[in-house]
């Protein structure tokens, strides 16, 4: 595997989390990059470290301020697990980050992948990191036709990578494997530029397009939801904070109404489509004036000076930008 490591050392992208051994910064980068592309995640990484430069700063932060920084990344359970883990490390472990895979994997939001990544990148421990990029490279290199997604197959890939890692720096090996999958061995691979193309069994067997083997995606549930944003003459907004569990948990949204209460003829009506991992959503938004908070149960009044600090889900941000309210 020296060829892909040599390629990595010569071609690796300049990324800030590769220039540190600080487990806090590495952990943060790994959580951000779950479900998020590098170019999208980079600004969040910088903003997060600027706002919360240490794990103690994060542990002391209130939920709204953390979610506000996270706003736009989606999958907000990641941010809440960051807060839970920060409190455990800051207040139960005296600020000392766990330095073994076994201790890391016990923390909220740290599954086998993230625990392996921190153990490898921060402490150079021989823990194979298996993400989508690693699956793609290894399944093509060895033309593996096992369907990925199960624990059994994960462990077989991890064992394969552990064996290949022997004799190399764990951190460099894992970074090189993941970089190869991110830059060369992509869903539409650049085989002519691949440093290990001559050893690739899937390339030889013409099964590149079939690897890795994935489960067929389930059809997304289609839903319609209707929201109104009531604004007073003085600029106060009525909003609802989502519960701790479920879609957009912990974020602020406009009051939801029944379809029959929605005014499709309004000049301030907006329709947006929004995709989640399991849902295809048609969202309808309306801007209207209000007189009483009591007209909107389970809602709260947000004054203009507090709006900038209020975290919203992406489609609600888009609606606010459409109405030029943010």
Asked whether the predicted pLDDT for residue 236 surpasses 80, the reply is: yes
Indicate if 100 and 153 belong to the same structural domain. yes
Contacts by 23-28, CB closer than 8 A, 24 or more apart: 23/97, 23/99, 23/118, 23/122, 23/123, 24/54, 24/55, 24/97, 25/49, 26/117, 26/118, 26/121, 26/122, 27/85, 27/97, 27/110, 27/114, 27/118, 27/122, 28/82
Indicate if 226 and 202 belong to the same structural domain. no
Q: Are 56 and 95 in contact (CB under 8 A)?
A: yes
Asked whether the predicted pLDDT for residue 98 surpasses 70, the reply is: yes
CA distances from 12 to 29, 113, 120, 175, 200 (A): 17, 21, 17, 9, 21
Q: Is residue 42 part of a domain?
A: yes
pLDDT tens-digit readout, 244-293: 888 898 899 999 999 999 999 999 999 999 998 889 999 999 999 987 77
Indicate if 199 and 226 belong to the same structural domain. no
Collapse the DSSP code of 128 into the 3-class scheme (helix H, G, I; strand E, B; otherwise coil) and give the result: coil
- What are the catalytic residues? 30
- CA–CA distance, 44 with 82 (Å, rounded to integer): 14
Q: What is the mean pLDDT of the chain?
A: 94
Domain that holds residue 229: 221-322
pLDDT tens-digit readout, 162-177: 999 999 999 999 999 9
* Length, in residues, of the chain: 326
67 φ, ψ (degrees, to nearest 5): -65, -30
**Mean pLDDT in residue range 27-54:** 95
Q: Is residue 215 part of a domain?
A: no
Indicate if 162 and 234 belong to the same structural domain. no
Indicate if 196 and 225 belong to the same structural domain. no
pTM (2 d.p.)? 0.89
Please state at what angle helix 151-165 crosses helix 132-141, rounded to 10 degrees.
70
Indicate if 104 and 193 belong to the same structural domain. yes
**Mean pLDDT in residue range 100-121:** 96
Asked whether the predicted pLDDT for residue 115 surpasses 90, the reply is: yes
As for how many domains the chain has, the answer is 2
Indicate if 232 and 143 belong to the same structural domain. no
């Amino acid at each position: 595997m020296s060829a892909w490591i040599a390629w990595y050392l010569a071609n690796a992208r300049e990324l800030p989390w590769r220039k540190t051994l600080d487990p806090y910064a590495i952990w943060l980068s790994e959580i951000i990059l779950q479900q998020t592309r590098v170019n999208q995640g980079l600004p969040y990484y910088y903003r997060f470290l600027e706002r919360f430069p240490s794990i103690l700063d994060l542990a002391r932060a209130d939920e709204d301020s953390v979610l506000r920084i996270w706003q736009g990344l989606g999958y907000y359970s990641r941010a809440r697990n960051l807060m839970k883990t920060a409190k455990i490390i800051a207040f139960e472990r005296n600020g000392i980050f766990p330095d073994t895979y076994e201790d890391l994997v016990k923390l909220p939001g740290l599954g086998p992948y993230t625990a392996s990544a921190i153990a490898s990148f921060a402490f150079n421990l021989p823990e194979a990191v298996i993400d989508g990029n690693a699956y793609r490279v290894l399944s093509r290199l060895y033309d593996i036709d096992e369907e990925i997604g199960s624990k059994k197959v994960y462990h077989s890939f991890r064992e394969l990578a552990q064996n290949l890692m022997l004799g190399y720096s764990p951190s460099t090996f894992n970074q090189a494997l993941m970089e190869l999958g991110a830059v060369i061995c992509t869903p539409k691979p650049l085989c002519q530029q691949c440093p290990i193309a001559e050893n690739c069994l899937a390339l030889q067997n013409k099964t590149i397009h079939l690897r890795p083997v994935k489960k067929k995606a389930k059809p997304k549930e289609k839903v319609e939801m209707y929201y109104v944003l009531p604004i007073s003459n003085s600029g106060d907004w009525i909003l609802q904070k989502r519960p701790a569990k479920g879609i957009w948990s912990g974020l602020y949204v406009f009051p939801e109404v029944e379809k029959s209460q929605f005014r499709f003829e309004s000049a301030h009506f907006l329709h947006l489509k929004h995709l989640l991992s399991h849902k295809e959503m048609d969202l309808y938004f309306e801007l209207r004036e209000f007189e009483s908070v009591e007209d909107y149960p389970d809602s709260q009044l947000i004054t203009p000076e507090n709006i900038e600090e209020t975290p919203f889900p992406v489609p609600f941000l888009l609606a606010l930008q459409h109405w030029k309210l943010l």
